[in-house]
Structure 1
Amino acid sequence: MLNDLKIKKLKPTDKVYRVADHSGLCLEIRPAGSKFWRYRYRFHGTAKMLTIGQYPEISLAYARAKTMEYREQLAKDVDPVSFQKNEKKSAIQSHVDTFEAVANEYLETKKNLKSKDWTTLRIRYLKKDIYPAIQNKPIKDVDSLDVKEILDNAIARISSGGIHTGEVKTTLVRQIIGEVMRYAIVTKRITNDPTYALRGYIQRPEVEHAKPVDAADRPYIMFKIDNYNGFQSIKNALKVLIYSMLRSIEIRRGEKRFIDFEEKTWTIPVASRKEIQEGKRNMKKNRTHIVPLSDQVLEIIKKQFELYPDSEYIFPGDNGVSMIGKTTLNMAFKNMGFPHITMHDFRATASTDLYEADFNSDWIELQLAHVKGDKTRASYDHAKWMSGRREMMQTWANMVDGWSSKADQSIIDEYNLFKPKKKPLD
């Protein structure tokens, strides 16, 4: 058996030679003078040998301990050479398959399938809430406790701002982690999704559905829009949103090319795959949607074309060219004194009032773009019911105009008396 004194006395020769210790362990002395621990064994009748490491960096005691490990593996019918190769491969793979690396790979696969907004949203929450906890952790080692800690920290971060309680956005954080995990399962990195156990951990608040605008508010809506100290395009956009039953995204992204003055229609086309990738979806459901235009809407749109000839949008933002911001319309209503009214409430109002006026339910649902079935059937219905829907939209616009007749003149007079006077132009 070897000891450190004997090992130091071993001198190199012009050929490699080995000196046995015991149990298959030996020290290999090479002509250059280096000494390496080697383990010799037989596996299924075949002679094999593997390197443990160089002496003195690898001590005699450590080499003997590793020899015992290899003998235990042989007793279990495991080849130590294959086991060592798999360990190295696993260590390399763990470095390659960190959560961040797999997440980046997942996002890359979606680059040509999803919009830029979709990708940007995920990168934002990955950086803010997910990477600080598991960025460099091998994805196979991420467990439900890791996910729970991320969710707890995310809801604390979001709710600390005082604007949101955090449940909805924290649920999105869990969803993003789950997307990456399921991609890892498909690509055979892992076998289980640790987010599955936490599906009900974050209780989302009840959704506040759109509700019809209160009768007490209706008489003053158009009056306050007219007297709003804001950009004319925003005021006109608000009016058309109310008259047309369109969503705010459809108003914001409405382009002049969608308008046919002869047919008196606003046709929202299907967005191409490239447009969707660039975040240019024209409406919530990516399908053709035709809006018959009332006289009131036509008049406003004609004015917009005259006021903003250089913009591709019907209702540009403050610079007169670019698209209106995402929150601009709702913020305008809040500034007018209607913080309790959202843009979607006007769609609920139109739906309720038109049902009560006994209009065809199919016309109403189609006008709201609540279309079921295939796109071909939807296009057929648009053409089939155009005459009836045109009458319905004109009736709705007249009903909206009728709100103002119920306003309390004393309140309007008081408003006009104290509203800020416009300064004369120099």
Structure 2
Amino acid sequence: MLTNAAAKAAGAQARAYKLFDQGGLHLFIAPTGLKSWRLKYRWKGREKLLTIGRFPEVSLAQARIRAAEAKDALSRGTDPSNASRKSPQADTFEQVARAWYRHGRPGWSAAHAADVIGSLERDVFPAIGGEPVAAITAPQLLAVMRSVERRGSVATAQRIRQRLSEIYGFAIAEGLATIDPAARLGAAMRDAPPAVPHPALLSAEDCRALLTACEGIAASRATVLASRFLALTAVRLEAVRGMHWSEVDFEARIWTVPAARMKLARAKKADPRFDHQVPLCAAALAVLEEAMSTFSPASEALKMNSLIFPGRGNQPIGEGAIRELYQRAGFKGRHVPHGWRASFSTIMNEELGEEWRTVIDLALAHSNKGKVEAAYNRSQLLDRRRVVFDRWGELLAG
């Protein structure tokens, strides 16, 4: 039989383990150090696990009393897991979900983290947040998913289902649940509609027409130049909005985009190994030269830390500034800032052929390497990427 002293002394190990008391009652110790009382029992021929409460909040004596109450419920033909729904000591879904969120948050971007916790607080916690995590059934989760589907948010429902399954994977690893009731919900859910790609121009002639139209609009010169530079480099908008002069090597004709402004896992954003180098064609250099003569401070020290394409108050140009520019140029619904990446990939693959596909993907900061190859093959094909961007610049210049 177990003692309170033994329960208190039990420390975390690399793997979860159990200290048994009697009659199926045991103390579960997770690798994180969390300790909770569990009762193993059988219901209608099936083995089940009842979470009684955490130690030391629930003492050994209290755990024995609750185990006895559970067995009494069994003798009366009642599943004790159903009775546990009313127990304030059981780990609730919301408690576990927030623990999962805290565990994953360091590796997520701010936008993704806000989307994750927002979806749970809006659609899940009000319905099942207070239920014991181990007692929730698949039909309960399906009811939550269908309420999201009924408002037309089918893709959102699919994302939430994935998050529910990840939460239960976390709960199982921590010993707070034994099964994932979200694992097979997809069979009863509506299929998400196919993703709608960003509008993008797919011919060099149309791309030139858009850039020419933008030159004729009364708009901020910084916005017009940022638009042209975005087109010539095919990067993501955030990379251009936050661009500083210190990132440009004019002699080498290279722009180094810091990993912090790349679309990466949060853990990679602080690692300079994941910086992205963009070869600058003649047209891109011409844009920078105009920006330097128009916006750059006279002081060299000030210049290096200043924005290349400043907006109001020396802040980055607005997120919607270039999109609005394209709408005013008559290309609403035909092209958006992110569309330059599709334009570049489509046109250059057609222009150069299949043998250049890998180089074009690297130019977009994409990689088809597997994890093992990526660990050893660190070639960036910079010279070949320069050939691609030089040709791209010629096509946009006409």
Task: Provide TM-score, normalisation by structure 2.
Answer: 0.66
Taking the TM superposition and a 5 Å limit, the aligned residue runs for 1:103-142 are 103-142=97-136
CA distance in 1, matches of 2:62, 2:363: 71
CA distance in structure 2 between the partners assigned to 1:181 and 1:350 by the alignment: 41
Runs of 5+ in structure 2 lacking a partner?
1-21, 24-60, 71-83
Q: Matches of 1:336 and 1:281 in 2, distance apart?
A: 38
1:392 maps onto 2:385 in alignment: no
SS of structure 2 residue aligned to 1:291: strand
Give yes or no for the alignment of 1:202 onto 2:187: no
Q: In the TM superposition, what is the alpha-carbon distance from 1:266 to its structure 2 partner?
A: 0.8
Whether 1:348 aligns to 2:342 is yes
Report the CA distance shift for 1:336/1:81 in structure 2 as closer, same or farther (over 3 A): closer
Alignment map for 1:159-170 (pairs within 5 Å): 159=152, 166-170=153-157
Distance 1:300 1:258, change over 3 A: same
The equivalent residue for 1:337 is 330
**2:363 counterpart residue number:** 367
Stretch moving more, 291-300 or 309-318: 309-318
Q: Which residue does the alignment assign to 2:314?
A: 320
Aligned residues: 311
* Structure 1 residues 140 and 176: CA distance shift in structure 2, 3 A: same
Please say if residues 230 and 237 of structure 2, whose CA atoms lie closer than 8 Å, have aligned partners that are also in contact: yes
Aligned-pair Cα RMSD in Å: 3.8
Task: Give the letter for the 2:145 counterpart.
Answer: L
Residue number in structure 1 paired with 2:217: 228
Q: Residue 52 of structure 1 aligns with which residue?
A: none
Read off the aligned partner of 2:191 and give its amino acid letter: Q
> 1:266 is matched with which residue: 249, 255, 266?
255
CA distance in 1, matches of 2:63, 2:306: 66
The letter for the 1-side match of 2:65 is: Q
Tell me if structure 2 keeps the 8 A contact 1:288–1:379.
no
2:137 aligned with 1:143: yes
The 3 A distance-change label for structure 1 pair 121 and 108 is same
Distance 1:241 1:150, change over 3 A: same
Larger radius of gyration: 1
**1:78-117 alignment to 2 at 5 Å?**
84-86=65-67, 94-117=88-111
Name the TM-score, length of structure 1 as normaliser: 0.62
Moved more, 305-314 or 133-142: 305-314
Offset at 1:400? 0.8
* Equivalent AA in structure 2 for residue 100 of structure 1: E
- What SS is found at the alignment partner of 1:110? helix
Q: Aligned with 1:112: secondary structure?
A: helix
Q: Tell me, what secondary structure is at the counterpart of 1:290?
A: strand
Match of 2:282 in 1: 295
**2:265, 2:138 → 1: CA distance?**
34
2:249–2:255: 8 Å Cα contact kept in structure 1? yes
Match runs of 1:5-44 below 5 Å: none
Shift of the alpha carbon at 1:369?
2.2
| 1:326-380 deviations in Å (ceiling 9; x for gaps) | x554444334332232334333332333334336504323212232335566643
Q: 1:265–1:291: 8 Å Cα contact kept in structure 2?
A: yes
> Separation in 1 of the partners of 2:136 and 2:394?
60
Percent identity at matched positions?
A: 21
Structural mapping, 1:248-263, within 5 Å: 248-263=237-252
Amino acid at match of 1:222: L
How far apart, in 2, do the equivalents of 1:227 and 1:149 lie?
Answer: 54
- Asked whether the equivalents of residues 259 and 271 of structure 2 are also in contact (C-alpha less than 8 Å), the reply is yes
Question: How has the CA–CA distance of structure 1 residues 276 and 182 changed in structure 2, closer, same or farther, with 3 Å as cutoff?
Answer: closer
CA apart distance, 1:120:
1.7
Please report how far the alpha carbon of residue 203 of structure 1 lies from its aligned counterpart in structure 2 after TM superposition.
0.9
Counterpart of 2:231?
Answer: 242
Distance 1:320 1:169 in 2: 37
**Structure 1: gaps spanning 5 or more residues:** 1-42, 45-79, 160-165, 403-426
The secondary structure found in structure 1 opposite 2:314 is: coil
Would the alpha carbon gap of residues 208 and 391 (structure 1) be closer, same or farther in structure 2, given more than 3 Å must change? same
